[in-house]
Structure 1
Amino acid sequence: MNPFEHSAENRSPLGRRSLLAGVAGSLGVAAALPATTAQAAQAATARRGRYPSNHPGLEPYGLADVRADLWPRADNSFVLPLELRPRDRARGRVWMRDTYVNCFEVEGRPLYVATGTTRVPELEAAAPWNDGIFVWVARSLRGPWKLADTTGIRPGAERGKVWSPEFAGENRPGRTVVAPWQEYWHDEEFGKRGQVWAPEVHYFRGTWYIVACMGDHSRKVGSFMLVSEGGVEGPYRLVRGSLDKPFGDPVAGGPDFVEPGAYHHIDGGLYSEGDDAWLVLHNDLYAKFRDDMEDLTTTTNLPRFRQTPYSPEPYLEGAYVFRYGGRYYLVQAAWDRTSIASDGSPRNAYDPPGEGRVQYQYDAVCAVSDSFEGPYSERWTAGVGAGHNNFFVDHLGRLWATFFRNPNFGYWSAPSRLADSAVPGVVRLEWTGPEGNRLYVQRRGRGARTE
């Protein structure tokens, strides 16, 4: 099995042609890792009979699994040592939400890419505005991680910033970098408004793409796609399907301060297989891209994944599809809320908000299917506190997930833990084999440490 067979950005991943900030110029076209890498790893595991068992299911469906084995820990995870920008030096690490990491092979060598939602120095969060998308690259997951070399595109500008509402001045007839709905604006309540959230970098059919979301304080809220005219460092422009509005239809919801009709589905991602690619939208929509990748084949009333919902179904976000072992894994973020059950015992569950329910952890929940569209199985807790992530395979065929530790509410919002929240983290995953067909955060005693 090809180690990149799991996800959109995997099979022909991110060909970051020019990513490495410290390596001169363009690195050439990226290619998928050899098909034998993951096959060999899985065959060796099978011969040793070391597939772990599935965690016991919790009843009723919808309870959250909080066991220690499902947490990112010192023995199975670490925070990426990303190159610091001037804004990061006081903290000593990059402030990041919605961490995204992937691995690709470029000219026979592994190349890793990281990105995520970041903030400007004067704000405590990525709201009501931030200043764009940054990309880091490395030859090893352990680093050194360098900011992508954007100096050839914007001499004198901040290194590593590949797209921003600030770049609206680069628009030209027939080439839009920043659409009017993505530009900064101002009002009396918030002042400066507009931010980009949850970017993902993909490589498909020899071209680089970034799928991201304009956040809640933007003129229009929702997902869009950029296409590079060079390497992973850009320069990028908007695809035609994102010129006038986000992908898909307007939807109800969002904060009260979002203008009526402006809220669309958020957290867009890309899944590719062979020569086909799909947009994956928060939290259960998908649509196939046209062959030219400039828009969707279906632009309204998008189809929905067939899922096994909780009852009642809470708010989910950060949908991501990952293919591994011939199966499709749909991973989403869900709040584990604590409450008191009717018998007086503590309850951890993926409940909607309600009286007596307190946000505890922002978890990654996962379901599996034999097909991209579904039907997907009942969900399980794949990682405690690892919500809004992606799964990927490294150049040795090992499975990983990202995490960031949500600082807004719950466990990581406690003042004593805030310094350890909003991080670019990665955690080892384990697969329970072709019979179990589950992915979990690696439990204690399973395999080597994270080097």
Structure 2
Amino acid sequence: MTSSDNRLSVGRRSLLTGVAGLVGAATLPATAAQAEQAASALRRHPANWPDPQPYGLADTRPDLWPRPDNSFILPLELRPRDRERGRVWMRDTYVNCFVVGGRPVYVATGTTRVPGLEAAGPWNDGIFVWLAPSLRGPWRLVDTTGIRPGAEKGKVWSPEFAGENRPGRMVVAPWQEYWHDDQFGKRGQAWAPEVHYFRGRWYIVACMGDHSRKVGSFMLVSEGGIEGPYRLVEGNHDKPFGDPFIGGPKFIEPGAYHHIDGSLYTEGDDAWLVLHNNLYAKFRDDMEDIVPATGLPQFQQRLYTPEPYLEGAYVFKHGGKYFLLHAAWNRTSVNADGSTRYAYDPPGPGRTQYQYDAVIAVSDRFGGPYSERWTAGVGAGHNNIFADRSGQLWATFFRNPNFGYWADPSRLADTAVPGVVRLEWTGPQGNRLYVQRRRPGHADRD
């Protein structure tokens, strides 16, 4: 978890284990005690795997896949639109656990689609949020009926709410409203939402997608509870966060494309915006805008050569270290000896999208410099990491249905899911996070 408000208690068993270790170590000479503590730490934590060489090759070992023994699909409450499928269609799955009023509150959200469309475009109808007392559920749509009695339950924000704008209170900016053209018809959608609890208030960071008038990240703040009502922060009244640049599909109008996939990182009383794929900025103390509003600083990263297009930047702190996540397409090609090459390459002749992976780098400081990236999860790209109420680390995944392995017609029914996968930390020596690799006798602790 990334907020000072997300404090979890240390389990009694963990505390007693730590005390026993200290007492035992105190009976040994200092050097011997240090050696025993180091050896004990190594025994408690799994080892790092050697990285494929050269830098930029992908690790595709089955242990790094979300599997039945280390992951599951969240049983989210179905909306009327979900009943035929029997499962919520979701991309960019986001899950977190916050301590509110002394109790853990689990939240889930993501990119969803409207009935009759195969994807979340060229338009969708906004942002839905689910709540649960436990990671296993029961997961219920947040109760928005007291705010909008006639609207679909669980929908906390949508371009449809533009009629709620009032002097001094903007809910939907003009650049976020639906619009129409001859190529796509109705256009405009919200992508990749995240829900955060910071300084006792609920925030949602999300992105207006490729079919919107302006494409980029924005933030909402609740004037009530997690159900809202939400309004747009001042810094997004005229545009998304950051500067426009050339990017995105060709149908995006010049000057409309800004940095997408916005994320919020908090530590203590401070908060930062994280933008794909290399930018960040600190929020003003009132959380209404970032400083600076343009010309944002960059993370210091060890880039691939050449560097491909990355998405879904997210920062998570654990064990005193900062972990920077990205989503990267693992593309296959053919080596000179005829074998298959798996790498985080840009598009090119002979290269085929295979898996939408999660790659991670680690640093002592938020801005970097960050280590070389490693494959943390195969097919688990565009995710976030969180700790459950016991401190167990998890990541989300959704199985990208657009291209690659999961686009095969035989697998499409199992794509676009609200999935979570257990993670493992390789300890203060290795300082890596991986999808939990196969180990006998490990059970759920949530």
Per the normalisation by structure 1, the TM-score is: 0.92
Residue in structure 1 matched with residue 395 of structure 2 by the alignment: 401
Larger Rg: 2
SS at match of 2:406: helix
Deviations 1:414-449 (A, max 9, x none): 000000000000000000000000000001116523
Q: Supply the AA of the counterpart residue of 1:234.
A: G
Contact 1:75 1:449 in 2 (8 A): no
- CA RMSD after TM alignment: 1.7
Match of 2:5 among 1, 12, 34: 12
Task: Report the Cα distance in structure 1 between the residues aligned to 2:368 and 2:13, rounded to whole angstroms.
Answer: 24
Structure 1 residue matching 2:358: 3-state secondary structure: strand
Partner of residue 348, structure 1: 342
Counterpart-to-counterpart distance in 1, 2:103 and 2:174: 40
Structure 2 match to 1:216? 210
1 CA distance for matches of 2:13 and 2:46?
17
Distance between the aligned counterparts of 2:312 and 2:105, measured in 1? 24
**What amino acid is aligned across from residue 332 of structure 2 in structure 1?**
T
Residue equivalent to 1:34: 9
Tell me, yes or no, if the aligned pair for 1:210 and 1:226 is still in contact at 8 Å.
yes
**CA deviation digits over 1:329-370, x for unaligned, max 9?**
001000000110123221000000001100000000000000
Number of the residue aligned with 1:68: 62
Map of 1:302-317 to 2, 5 A cutoff? 302-317=296-311
Aligned twin of 2:421? 427
Q: Which runs of 4+ in 1 moved over 4 A?
A: 35-48
User: Residue 280 of structure 1 contacts residue 319 of structure 1 at CA under 8 Å; is this kept in 2?
Assistant: yes
Letter in 2 for 1:33: L
What are the residue-to-residue correspondences of 1:30-429 with 2, within 5 Å?
Answer: 32-34=7-9, 40=15, 49-429=43-423
CA contact (8 A) 2:5 2:99 kept: no
Q: Secondary structure at the match of 1:49?
A: helix
Contact kept? 1:76, 1:449, Cα under 8 Å: no
Contact 2:361 2:374 (C-alpha < 8 Å) held by counterparts? yes
3-state secondary structure, aligned to 2:76: coil
Is the 8 Å Cα contact of residues 8 and 390 (structure 2) preserved in structure 1? no
Could you say if the C-alpha distance between residues 208 and 169 of structure 1 is closer, same or farther in structure 2, counting changes exceeding 3 Å?
same
Cα distance, 1:251 vs structure 2: 1.0
Task: Note closer, same or farther for the CA distance 1:355–1:210 as it changes in structure 2 (3 Å cut).
Answer: same
Q: Give 1:445's aligned residue.
A: 439
Per-residue CA deviation, residues 289-318 of structure 1 (Å, 9 max, x unaligned), is 000000011011100000000000000000
Alpha-carbon deviations, 1:93-141, whole Å to 9, x = none? 0000000000112233221000000000110000000000000000010
Aligned residues: 426
Alpha-carbon spacing, 1:49–1:60, altered in 2? closer, same or farther (3 Å): same
| Offset at residue 42 of structure 1 (A) | 9.6
Partner Cα distance (1:175, 1:416) in 2: 48
**AA matched with 1:379:** R
3-state DSSP class of the match of 2:290? coil
Assess if the C-alpha contact under 8 Å between 1:37 and 1:396 holds in 2: no
Matching residue's letter, 1:382: A
Alpha carbons of 1:42 and 1:201: their partners in 2 closer, same or farther (altered >3 Å)?
A: farther
The AA in structure 2 aligned to 1:405 is R
Q: Work out the CA distance in 1 between the residues paired with 2:17 and 2:415.
A: 34
Q: Distance in 1 between matches of 2:367 and 2:195?
A: 22
- Taking the aligned partners of 1:368 and 1:262, their CA distance within structure 2 comes to 33
Once residues 430 and 335 of structure 2 are traced to their aligned partners in structure 1, the CA distance between those partners, rounded to angstroms, is 30
Distance 1:428 1:403, change over 3 A: same
Q: Which runs of 5+ in 2 are unaligned?
A: 22-36
Partner residue in 2 for 1:25: none
Give the 3 Å change call, closer, same or farther, for CA 325–260 of structure 1 in structure 2: same
Distance 1:238 1:41, change over 3 A: farther
> Residues of 2 paired with 1:118 and 1:446: CA distance?
36
Q: TM-score, normalised by structure 2?
A: 0.93
AA partner of residue 129 (structure 1): W
Q: What secondary structure, in the 3-state scheme, does the structure 2 residue paired with 1:75 have?
A: coil
Q: Secondary structure of 1:11's match?
A: coil
Offset from partner CA, 1:49-90 (integer Å, 9 cap, x none): 220000111100000000011000000000000000000000
Q: Give SS of 2:429's match.
A: helix
Give the whole-Å Cα distance in 2 for the aligned partners of 1:392 and 1:286.
20
In structure 2, do the counterparts of structure 1 residues 35 and 277 end up closer, same or farther at CA, with 3 Å as the change threshold?
A: farther
Give the 3 Å change call, closer, same or farther, for CA 185–48 of structure 1 in structure 2: same
Residue 428 of structure 1 aligns to which amino acid in structure 2?
R
User: How far did 1:36 drift?
Assistant: 6.3
Task: Tell me the amino acid that sits aligned with residue 358 of structure 1.
Answer: T
Cα distance between partner residues in 2 of 1:124 and 1:319: 26
Query: For structure 1, which runs of at least 5 residues remain unmatched after alignment?
Result: 14-31
Question: 1: distance between equivalents of 2:403 and 2:17?
Answer: 38
> What is the Cα deviation at residue 39 of structure 1?
7.0
